Amino acid sequence: MQSLGRHVLAEVYGCRFDVLNDVRKVEDIMVNAALEAGAEVREVVFHKFSPQGVSGVVVISESHLAIHTWPELGYAAVDVFTCGDTVNPWDACQYLQEKFEADYVDASEVKRGVIAKQEERLAVNI
């Protein structure tokens, strides 16, 4: 079956507080992760929470990267969603793990917009 996109959901653990709590650093790392994966960056929006934490999204031509951080826990929840065949979401995740200095990452990929062939759709609908 063919899919329209690949969506990697990453749980990023053991990150440095000072990195996850710095909106400029998080934004820079996320934008560069998109570029590292071969994406074309379109829009960038990030917000710093008080007393701590950052949320943001990098809109790419191929979809998006999003993050929510809990610096006090050394944790970040990251989504990397890419459409097409030219951008590899795993390249972005590898870059993020390195730059956030994470102890480990638990990630999984979900195929989005799975399109079954005509004969497969008929078999399922019977």
What are the residue numbers of the active site? 63, 68, 83
93 CB contacts (<8 Å, ≥6 apart)? 8, 10, 33, 78, 80, 105, 107
Cβ atoms 58, 64 nearer than 8 A: yes
Cβ atoms 10, 98 nearer than 8 A: no
| Phi-psi map region of 113: left, alpha, beta (phi>0 left; psi -120 to 50 alpha) | left
